[in-house]
Homo-oligomer: A and B are copies of this chain.
Amino acid sequence: MDKSTEIIDWFKSLQDTICGSLEALDGNQFREDLWERSGGGGGRTRILNGDIIEKGGVNFSAVHGNMPDNIASKLGLPENKFLATGVSIVLHPKSPHIPIIHMNVRYFQTDSGHWWFGGGIDLTPHYIVEDQARFFHQSLKAACDKHHPGYYSEFKTWADDYFFIRHRDETRGIGGIFFDRLNEERGSLDENFAFVKAVGNAFVPIYTHMVEKNLERPITEQDLLWQRLRRGRYVEFNLVWDKGTKFGLDTNGRTESILMSLPPQANWVYDFRPEDNPAATVTQSLLKKGIDWVV
């Protein structure tokens, strides 16, 4: 079997597995939209509006064809036939005590012989709880360490830099890992693929833990306002700074699938200061790069 077919099949099975686990956790079913791309390929967009996950998307796509000029120049590649495939997830939970989570794993290749993997997982707690932040980063470190002793540290720094809201001088959340263009310089295709599989497989246990730890915590009006303001920051990051979103919108991607990442509702209050909400104040103080969560 062609290697790219194996990768595509594995991404599809990852989508199936994750959707199945989230349906079991939430008690509600995903809605699926199949779509095709006029230039070649298509995808399976799956959306959950559930009881725990207020709005979540778990998307698979595999698109191929002739690379448009603008994509080739953005990637610094000669024009060529390409294949891009991956799974993208964003979950906005109903409870402000459960974090927003994002995961992406992706593979790209051209007929001229270029190939690479990319991806990552990052967490955006509305309220940062330090022992949960440590659990999250330790889980990612464990997944990384099996593949390369330097990966966690390198990709954690990359996530800090990537998930940064420059105009607010704050990180989107507590980061996680982010990596791109993992190619033959990092190991064989199989070795890179094994690492990406480990990242994909880490998602369900991590998020199940986050839901179970926080689901029963009581919610106040103040918590809900703070959640909607943090969701506003999530919108700001995704629409202003996220290169993946920009790339998708600039290259005529399927808008509804790309913007499934936006929250169900977001608020903006001019010059908001959470002075009467100590947990929010603590959270704000931790929205910065370079915190070592695995000491």
Which residues of A are at the interface with B, using a C-beta cutoff of 8 A? 33, 47, 49, 55, 57, 166-168, 228, 232, 235-236, 239-240, 246, 249, 255-256, 258-260, 262-271
Interface contact B268-A262, CB-CB below 8 Å? yes
Q: Which residues of B contact A255 (CB under 8 A)?
A: 167-168
A270 pairs with B47, CB closer than 8 A: yes
Which residues of the partner chain B approach A47 to less than 8 Å between Cβ atoms? 270-271
9 residue pairs A–B, Cβ–Cβ below 8 Å: A47-B271, A166-B249, A235-B239, A239-B239, A240-B249, A256-B270, A263-B268, A265-B267, A266-B267
Q: Which residues of B contact A240 (CB under 8 A)?
A: 239-240, 246, 249
Residues of B contacting A260 in the complex (Cβ-Cβ under 8 angstroms): 270
**CB-defined contacts of A271 to chain B, threshold 8 Å:** 33, 47, 256
Residues from chain B with Cβ under 8 Å of A262 in the complex: 232, 268
A53 to B259, CA, bound (A): 28
* B239 near A270: Cβ-Cβ < 8 Å: no
Contact between A249 and B57, CB atoms less than 8 A apart: no
CA distance A168 to B249 in the complex (A): 9
CB-CB under 8 A from A246, the residues of chain B are: 240
Quote the shortest CB–CB distance from A209 to chain B (angstroms). 27
Residue in B closest to A92 when the chains form the complex, CB atoms: B268
Supposing A239-B240, A240-B249, A255-B168 touch, asked if A228 and B268 sit within 8 A by C-beta, the answer is no
A35 to chain B, nearest CB (A): 11
In the complex, the chain B residue whose C-beta lies closest to that of A240 is B239
Asked if B167 contacts A270 (CB within 8 A), the reply is no
Cβ–Cβ < 8 Å partners of A236 in chain B: 239, 259
- Bound-complex Cα distance A57 to B270 (A): 9
